[in-house]
Amino acid sequence: MKYAVIQMQGNQQLVHEGDVIETNLVDKKEGETFFAPEVLLFSDDNSLDLGMPLTSAKVELEVQKHFRGEKIRVFKFKSKSRYRKVHGHRQELTQCLVKKISAK
């Protein structure tokens, strides 16, 4: 079974062929394919390659959809002064399908 560790948008993820992953917003259109910018580890049944990053391995991804994550609330509070502030945030995310993992 082939698998790889890729680094995208500052996060590392372990991926297999056919996996669906969520990552920070990728500037590609839905249905568009692209290669992961950095492959840190590649493994198949016979060998394990490790690098920072590997130049021989490629992971092909397809953008399935763009969406927003769950709302996170940040609450500031100062005692005895009646100061309260609530701030919300929703992260822009991209769902990608791992189409192919290959090495030379």
pLDDT digits (tens, 9 = 90+) for 28-49: 899 889 988 888 888 888 887 7
DSSP assignment letter at 22: E
- Segments making up each domain of the chain, as ranges: 3-103
pLDDT digits (tens, 9 = 90+) for 3-30: 899 998 888 999 998 889 999 998 889 9
* Distance (Å) of CA 104 to CA 4, 8, 15, 55, 59: 14, 21, 18, 9, 12
